Amino acid sequence: MSEPEKDEETIRRSVRNRYGGLADGHDVGGCCEGGQSCGSPSPGTSSHEAKTGCCAAGYSETELASLPEGSNLGLGCGNPSQLAALRSGEVVLDLGSGAGVDCFLAASQVGPSGRVIGVDMTPEMISRARDLARSSGRTNVEFRLGEIEHLPVADASVDVVLSNCVINLVPDKGQVYREAFRALRPGGRLVVADVLATRPISDDLRNDLERWASCSSGALTRDEVTERLRSAGFESIEVIVHGEDLAPDSLRSQAEIGVVSGEVRATKPGGSPP
């Protein structure tokens, strides 16, 4: 992969500004087609239509109905908590937790004996998620401000690391996977829903901040993701690239440059046998 010529902080600032504005209710667009965020639907669109359209991203009607109002901004490309088959009592870490949609779903699955930690670098998202957790009485979930390349969690302290359409936004994906590996207990698992590249992305697109911040030009190929996971120490690596015909409506514009949704799973060696 050609690394972006722009420095990492420039990319990070562009991403933070975009998603900070969305958290505040400004329609700056996330990963939805044409810059239309599901968090701010078009006039005349019902909340049900918004939730079951681009915002659904693999969530069931039951899951959507269980969420605190305002936690689902339609920024994901999958349902990582479902893919992870979470168990009661597990400690879960969500990388790039946004307004908390996947954290709240995970918190319901791990139950009162479990715990969920969401990490996001955008202060506005953290504030929104904390307010929603407080107002909805979710006591087994917390949100921490930080960069997912430098996670504010202890070594070997979580059972599962989740992420939903966020790692593509980070310049140094290898550092994200190394940090996830550090945070996981032996035998812990990484489960990611993200966008993946099906063909090489040009340098011009790599350096387009608008494309990068809208979940397009920062995507890696299956081989690139696999290599970074292996270098970080993970095993049992599985990277599934969905075909363009399976891409949700929110990713149609990304599909034009060969970027589609996908799933990533990997395990940290060690732990007790099942």
What CATH number did the domain enclosing 77 receive? Answer: 3.40.50.150
Count up the domains in the chain and report the number: 1
5: confidence class by pLDDT, cuts 50, 70, 90: very low
On whether residue 1 sits in a domain, the answer given is no
**Mean pLDDT taken over the chain:** 82
- Domain range spanning residue 195? 8-267
* Percent of the chain clearing pLDDT 90 (strictly above): 54
pLDDT value of position 23: 67
On whether residue 272 sits in a domain, the answer given is no
Structure tokens at 113: 């004996």
The answer to whether the beta carbons of residues 103 and 41 sit under 8 Å apart is no
User: What's phi and psi for 40, nearest 5 deg?
Assistant: -140, 80
What is the edge-to-edge ordering of all strands in the sheet holding 91-95? 141-145, 115-120, 91-95, 158-164, 184-197, 259-267, 235-241
Crossing angle of helices 123-136 and 101-110, in 10° steps, is 40
- What's the average model confidence in pLDDT over 44-65? 57
On whether residue 140 sits in a domain, the answer given is yes
pLDDT in tens, 62-82: 888 888 888 887 778 899 999
On whether residue 273 sits in a domain, the answer given is no
51: confidence class by pLDDT, cuts 50, 70, 90: very low
pLDDT above 50 for 155: yes
On whether residue 97 sits in a domain, the answer given is yes
On whether residue 3 sits in a domain, the answer given is no
22: confidence class by pLDDT, cuts 50, 70, 90: confident
pLDDT above 60 for 47: no
